[in-house]
Amino acid sequence: MINLMKNSKLNKSIGIIGGGQLGQMLTQAALPLGFDVTVLDPQAGSPAYLAGADQIVGDYNEASITKLAAQSDYLTTEFEEGLDTDLLSKISSSSKLNPAPKTIALILDKVIQKNYLKAKGVAMGQYTSFETHHQAGQLLKDYGGKMLIKTRRGGYDGYGNRLVDNRASLDKALSDFAGQPVYAEAFVPFIKELAVMAVRDLDGAIITYPVVETIQKNNICHEVLAPAQVDYETMQRATDLALKVAGAFDGAGAFGIEMFLTQTNELYLNEVAPRVHNSGHYSIEACVTSQFENHIRAISGRPIGSSAMKVPFAVMINILGERNGPAELKAVTEVESDEQTYVHIYGKSQTRIGRKMGHITATGISLNEAKARAEDALKEIYI
Amino acid sequence: MINLMKNSKLNKSIGIIGGGQLGQMLTQAALPLGFDVTVLDPQAGSPAYLAGADQIVGDYNEASITKLAAQSDYLTTEFEEGLDTDLLSKISSSSKLNPAPKTIALILDKVIQKNYLKAKGVAMGQYTSFETHHQAGQLLKDYGGKMLIKTRRGGYDGYGNRLVDNRASLDKALSDFAGQPVYAEAFVPFIKELAVMAVRDLDGAIITYPVVETIQKNNICHEVLAPAQVDYETMQRATDLALKVAGAFDGAGAFGIEMFLTQTNELYLNEVAPRVHNSGHYSIEACVTSQFENHIRAISGRPIGSSAMKVPFAVMINILGERNGPAELKAVTEVESDEQTYVHIYGKSQTRIGRKMGHITATGISLNEAKARAEDALKEIYI
């Protein structure tokens, strides 16, 4: 590990499209490696800025992205939704921008993503795009009376995502998403949701992180348990699935691969994100090299570090907004003296119900111990 | 551990007098805790600035220090030499400035330091201040023909420090230090030099770090071995000595306590520094909480973290300038892929023979392994 300060001749600059919490944690990983970091974000005082990045305050338009690209040795993004991949291809050679614009294009639209990966032999549940209300009604029958209606683009943290199991809920979903392209996914009866982070270097070599279990609440990632409590053979299969998915795309950087462990013990891909991911936050304290540091290393051509866990168990819990308004953090000194509890508060100035305001990672010699520690800490925090 | 971003209502600002490598590593510890950091340093683009601190570019005079104090919730210093302790007492209540001005005043002048600690029962070698050349010659005889001439103030890294063992070297030392108050220290025949970091909180509770061995080359700290290879009883005595020394002073913060293990198995105090210290750099990677983080926690009234080692062994080696001129770092990629080698380059723009330009900490399952790793890494770096 190198902690190089900025005026060394080896130093390079990283540009990040987006200055939210992912940009923030990327910044915190990149600065000690000696990089200058600049983020582009429309909101002044973004979380990444608060962590020490310079910021271009601006919309994600051609002028701003071009400006960021021009001053960056390496360009990356903390999100993909809404990005103009033609523009990205135009302003940047793919060796400079990672994830590759082509990869972003393939992942952005979930139907294109699924078609692409299905053709590569990746196992997944049934899904169909449809045009008419009538077709949707037929699909609900075909899929056994329970399915998800999802927007093809822009879904995250429960947005763009409805579970429907009768005519009324189907009508509601279609009306909510009127005007947006949607598709249907058969509901996969699963025992657990698993996730694996993979990081691919500029030469295409891929490393994976431990398999974790993710627990969702209201369609938002609530808790991540590391490592997942599944047998060795399932871990192997989950890792293989992640390698297959990450290997299907061009370009360097992190990939978050979410999957279902079905009641029949099959592993189905759920979704893939071409970036650092909420399911990998635990790696900051629990792994030799965090997903954020390895993403930075990967896109800048530096050697990728070990992803092995350096503690027996870790549990990550998101700190979600519980009201709407200016964020005001209550005292957290109770938590502070615990050496195995790590609280991250992203510094967002406005809170909103369900908004990701921070997260807690707790480590321990058993999963229960780590979980109890994280949950106890969460009780001390209100934001 | 709390990683609080800046716009939280809990946030406070830290002011550091001095923006060198100690200020830099204090900054790197303080930023993730959510503090705003400003350093005062005459040289623009100081190492601390490069690590993300704001900087007041200015001399260490009344106007600049007053300005820094006025905007800081907590004020500290990375050095003590040359500070006007009357000024410090005037501009800051002791609860805000740590180390306490009174502590700095007692430590600055080494004869005052030794007199003060000797009166508290701290064991140390013989020393005498003297006025005349003739007295010095007599002392050299009294001390068995080998002693150190040291300046009472301003000595560090071999400056202000001469070993004399005959008339000629004595004459040379006295002529070199002409006009500066000096004193003589009997040479202590030692087996090892040991050091212990102690951190005292605002309530006066003191924690100590593991006992380490320091190896000097040309009067500059070259290597630190953690933990020191001494028996348990010696460790206990060294820890007790450190507690006694740190307990003798007012105020919160880190103390670096250097001592000699004599040929007769006694422990003598060598020197104390009222701040983070080169002998504690290993703690960044090797201890649960680094000396830098604990100093920040201590002076800001936060709970002090565990100082326990989290790896079996660690070796720190300083990276010293090997020539004079603009610093230009050669590639260090060889080192980068080693997960147990941590290279810190402070980012000083000018190098100078013997100047501290960075340091390496290597960890391992044996001291030899860690030492080999650190020494191999040093060969890859030229600055």
pLDDT digits over A259-292, tens only? 999 999 999 999 999 999 999 999 999 999 999 9
Q: Which of A321, A323, A341 is nearest to A333 (CA)?
A: A341
Please tell me the predicted confidence (pLDDT) of residue B8.
64
- A244-253, B91-100, B143-152, B262-271: least confidently modelled range: B91-100
CB contact under 8 A, A333 and B6: no
Please tell me the predicted confidence (pLDDT) of residue B333.
64
* pLDDT digit string, tens, across residues A28-86: 999 888 888 999 999 999 999 998 899 999 999 999 999 999 999 999 999 998 899 99
Q: What mean pLDDT is reported for chain A?
A: 92
Please tell me the predicted confidence (pLDDT) of residue B304.
93
pLDDT at A339 over 90: no
List of chain B residues whose C-beta atoms are within 8 Å of the C-beta of residue A336: 1-2, 302-303
- Among B6, B24, B288, the residue with its CB nearest the CB of A347 is B6
Q: How far is CA A200 from the centre of its chain?
A: 15
Confidence of residue A3 (pLDDT cuts 50, 70, 90): confident
- Among A10, A24, A332, the residue with its CB nearest the CB of B2 is A332
List of chain B residues whose C-beta atoms are within 8 Å of the C-beta of residue A51: 5, 31
Q: From CA A35, how far away is CA A22, in angstroms rounded?
A: 17
CB contact under 8 A, A2 and B343: yes
Q: What is the mean pLDDT of residues A368-379?
A: 94
Residue that the structure tokens 């899904």 belong to? A127
Q: What is the mean pLDDT of residues A187-209?
A: 96
In this structure, are residues B358 and B260 in contact, taking their beta carbons and an 8 Å threshold? no
List of chain B residues whose C-beta atoms are within 8 Å of the C-beta of residue A302: 333, 336
List of chain A residues whose C-beta atoms are within 8 Å of the C-beta of residue B34: 345
Please tell me the predicted confidence (pLDDT) of residue B158.
64
Q: How far is CA A309 from the centre of its chain?
A: 19
Please tell me the predicted confidence (pLDDT) of residue B284.
97
Confidence of residue B160 (pLDDT cuts 50, 70, 90): confident
pLDDT at B334 over 70: no
Confidence of residue A329 (pLDDT cuts 50, 70, 90): confident
CB contact under 8 A, B31 and A51: yes
- Measured CB to CB, residues of chain A less than 8 Å from chain B are 1-10, 24, 28, 31-32, 34, 45, 47, 50-52, 288-289, 302-303, 305-306, 327-329, 331-333, 335-337, 339, 341-347, 349
Residues 6+ apart with CB under 8 A from B254: B197, B198, B199, B274, B275, B276, B277, B280, B291, B294, B295, B298
Q: How far is CA B208 from the centre of its chain?
A: 15
| Portion of chain A with pLDDT greater than 90, in percent | 78
SS3 A258: strand
Single-letter amino acid, residue A380: E
- A358-362, B1-5, B212-216, B329-333: least confidently modelled range: B329-333
Q: What mean pLDDT is reported for chain B?
A: 92
pLDDT at A9 over 70: no
Please tell me the predicted confidence (pLDDT) of residue A158.
64
H/E element holding B286? helix B283-286
User: Angle between the B110-119 and B101-108 helix axes, to the nearest 10 degrees?
Assistant: 110
A5, A293, A381: best to mutate for the B interface, most B CBs within 10 A: A5
CB contact under 8 A, B2 and A335: yes
Tokens coding A129: 């795009």
Please tell me the predicted confidence (pLDDT) of residue A332.
65
- Measured CB to CB, residues of chain B less than 8 Å from chain A are 1-10, 24, 28, 31-32, 34, 45, 47, 50-52, 288-289, 302-303, 305-306, 327-329, 331-333, 335-337, 339, 341-347, 349
CB contact under 8 A, B329 and A31: no
Cα atoms found within 13 Å of the Cα of residue A230, Cβ hemisphere only: 27
In this structure, are residues B26 and B16 in contact, taking their beta carbons and an 8 Å threshold? yes
Give a three-class secondary structure readout of A142-187: HCCCCEEEEECCCCECCECEEEECCHHHHHHHHHHCCCCCEEEEEC
* Most confident by average pLDDT, A29-43, A89-103, A230-244, B215-229: A230-244
- Among B34, B339, B347, the residue with its CB nearest the CB of A5 is B347
Q: What is the mean pLDDT of residues B176-198?
A: 94
Please tell me the predicted confidence (pLDDT) of residue B329.
77
Confidence of residue B16 (pLDDT cuts 50, 70, 90): very high
Tokens coding A150: 């999802």
CB contact under 8 A, A328 and B10: no
List of chain A residues whose C-beta atoms are within 8 Å of the C-beta of residue B37: none
In this structure, are residues B198 and B243 in contact, taking their beta carbons and an 8 Å threshold? yes
Cβ atoms < 10 Å from Cβ of B377: 23
Report how far apart the first and last C-alpha atoms of chain B are (Å, whole number). Answer: 34
List of chain B residues whose C-beta atoms are within 8 Å of the C-beta of residue A328: 9
Give rounded-to-5 percent helix, strand, coil for chain A.
30, 30, 40
- Among A3, A9, A47, the residue with its CB nearest the CB of B342 is A3
The whole-angstrom distance between B33's CA and the closest CA on chain A is 9
* pLDDT digit string, tens, across residues B57-95: 999 999 999 999 999 999 999 999 889 999 999 887 656
A1, A304, A309, A349: best to mutate for the B interface, most B CBs within 10 A: A1
- Among A9, A32, A45, the residue with its CB nearest the CB of B329 is A9
pLDDT at A374 over 80: yes
Cis geometry, peptide bond prior to residue A303 (ω within 30 degrees of 0): no
The whole-angstrom distance between A115's CA and the closest CA on chain B is 37
Q: What is the mean pLDDT of residues B50-59?
A: 93
pLDDT at A4 over 80: no
The whole-angstrom distance between B27's CA and the closest CA on chain A is 11
Please tell me the predicted confidence (pLDDT) of residue A338.
78
CB contact under 8 A, A2 and B337: no
Please tell me the predicted confidence (pLDDT) of residue A157.
65
Tokens coding A22: 């992912």
Q: Which of B101, B2, B24 is nearest to B348 (CA)?
A: B24
Tokens coding B373: 């790793």
pLDDT at A140 over 70: yes
The whole-angstrom distance between B128's CA and the closest CA on chain A is 43
- Among A7, A327, A331, the residue with its CB nearest the CB of B349 is A7
B1, B5, B46, B329: best to mutate for the A interface, most A CBs within 10 A: B5
Please tell me the predicted confidence (pLDDT) of residue A127.
97
List of chain A residues whose C-beta atoms are within 8 Å of the C-beta of residue B31: 51-52
- A48-62, A67-81, A337-351, B106-120: least confidently modelled range: A337-351
CB contact under 8 A, B343 and A3: yes
